[in-house]
Structure 1
Amino acid sequence: MRSPRIAQILVLASCTLLAACDRAPAPTADAQSPAAVPASVALQDVVETRPDYIVGISYPKSASNHPALAQALKAYADAARADLMKAVAGLKGQKPTAPYDLSLQFTGLVDTPQVVAVAADGSSYTGGAHGNPLVARFVWLPQRQEMLQADRLIVDAAGWQAISDASREQLMTALSQRLDADEVEGADRAEQLKTGSRMIDDGTKPAPANFAQFEPVMNAEGQIRAIRFVFPPYQVAPYVEGTRTVEIPARALLPHVAADYRKLFQGG
């Protein structure tokens, strides 16, 4: 599961960025002072190997063009590293059976004048059967100097219900297809459908928090043609099934998208 510290960093970074945008005066053509723009943040890849831990972090070069976005990425990586080092400190000098490990890759997904999106994927291993997954998405709007957040994108309960319903349908279809491919039948199939359905129901309840990680899918004209919602391991399926996604087309989202963001979407 995601580290509480990392989840808190995501929330705080978003709130800080939004607050800064709310405080900043609207830019003008002859503005001389970039007071609302954060100082440049150096995003440097990290490769560190020690007897008791290993760290590997990589960033896309394009993110450095957007200081506030770079700041959010670095805050996420710093929080993940801090969690790892806290666990290493808990060893009190003893060598673990397997080195503790942080592997985190930031990947540029979209880079247009209107929308920049970056994916964070990785894991942090601090003992146990497997590492803790790290999954996050950052959608930056350069012209608005704002991080796009799920709870600001969709403005009504009907919208979240529609997204919830569509997500559940796609995930249940995928589950059924997987069981077909694995030739699971009889009581085993019924049990897996029951368990899978319960996880999907819990992980897709119509609330912004369940859809906080998302990435835009762009058309050739640079508009958002769909939103791909990303569910980390454990949210809607067991760990072994990895990260799951669903894709909701713009036409289904637009009736519920906040007016300020509709022009970003195909048909908006």
Structure 2
Amino acid sequence: MAPDRYAITYPTLADRDQGLLPHLHAFAEQQKRNFRAEAGKRPATVDTAVAEGHLRLDFALRNDTDDFVSIVATGEMYTGGARGVPLLAAFNWHRGSRQVIALPDLFDNRDAGLRAIAAHVRRELTARGRRDPAMALTDRDRMLQGTAPVVENYATYFVHGSPGRSGITVIFPPYQVAPYARGFIEIPIPGTILLPHLKKNLRRTFAATVP
């Protein structure tokens, strides 16, 4: 398989954030394995370029504060057919604990936090449809299922804003809450929505005044 079938770019990380790099590499290596497995299923009679396809993956810095550095990976795996498979992941490195923080790990009460986020996301998606008919939801059942307050629906998020006034932005891949043509959909969640449910040691990141 030709080396140029892979196009993977990484951000430059500060010395104190090098512990995040193995997480990015592990995700990229998993996508390579997935790609090779799918490419290997293509029949030998098809064009070589199509049979081998390509893997594109870009790790982009989305936010960098005293508390968090957030990286979002987007890309595509193509091994033939009408379109490629979109790739999406996010990595939120908490500098204090030197750990990647999954969204459920933000909360004392995971279920309450997810319910608050889901309610806000549904309001925002509905409001976007009212403001712009082109963004109106054509499949409400898809939206309700894709925004249900379960962990897998909110696996991809990044921290946004400045210290003390941060929030998170959740990202939905194509098909999850809207048709494929809408692409990735980002919904910001204000820190005020999160604050009642956050773990105590994380509250200063998301609100200027800590209760």
Same-fold call, TM cutoff 0.5: yes
* 1:204 match: 147
Larger Rg belongs to: 1
Counterpart contact for 2:42–2:79, Cα < 8 Å: no
Identity, % of aligned pairs?
30
* 1:89 match: 40
CA distance in 1, matches of 2:16, 2:86: 28
* 1:18 match: none
Match of 2:139, SS state, is helix
* Alpha-carbon spacing, 1:108–1:266, altered in 2? closer, same or farther (3 Å): same
Alignment pair present for 1:141 and 2:84: no
* 1:74-130 deviation digits (Å, cap 9, x = unpaired): 011111111111223333654346351111100112223321111101110111111
Q: Give the AA of the match of 1:262.
A: R
Match of 2:54, SS state, is strand
Counterpart contact for 1:123–1:132, Cα < 8 Å: yes
Match of 1:117, SS state, is strand
* 2:189 match: 248
* 2:28 match: 77
* Alpha-carbon spacing, 1:78–1:260, altered in 2? closer, same or farther (3 Å): same
What is the CA distance between 1:146 and its match in structure 2? 1.2
Matches within 5 A, 1:24-63: 48-49=3-4, 54-62=5-13
Match of 2:13, SS state, is helix
Instruction: Provide the TM-score with structure 2 as the length reference.
Output: 0.87
Matched residue count:
205
Aligned-residue CA RMSD (Å):
2.2
Unaligned runs of 5+ in 1: 1-46, 183-191
* Alpha-carbon spacing, 1:169–1:96, altered in 2? closer, same or farther (3 Å): farther
* 1:165 match: 119
Unaligned runs of 5+ in 2: none
* 1:213-244 deviation digits (Å, cap 9, x = unpaired): 1111122xx33522111111111111111011
After TM superposition, the structure 1 stretch with the greater mean CA deviation from structure 2, 129-138 or 92-101, is 92-101
What is the CA distance between 1:67 and its match in structure 2? 3.2
* 1:170-223 deviation digits (Å, cap 9, x = unpaired): 112223444x248xxxxxxxxx74x4211110011112221121111122xx33
Alignment pair present for 1:131 and 2:78: no
Instruction: Provide the TM-score with structure 1 as the length reference.
Output: 0.70
* Alpha-carbon spacing, 1:138–1:100, altered in 2? closer, same or farther (3 Å): same
Match of 1:61, SS state, is coil
Counterpart contact for 1:63–1:69, Cα < 8 Å: no
Alignment pair present for 1:214 and 2:144: no
2:128 to 174, 178, 181: 174
Q: Give the AA of the match of 1:78.
A: E
* Alpha-carbon spacing, 1:65–1:124, altered in 2? closer, same or farther (3 Å): farther
CA distance in 2, matches of 1:202, 1:126: 29
Alignment pair present for 1:239 and 2:180: yes
Counterpart contact for 2:158–2:169, Cα < 8 Å: yes
CA distance in 2, matches of 1:161, 1:87: 36
Counterpart contact for 1:63–1:70, Cα < 8 Å: no
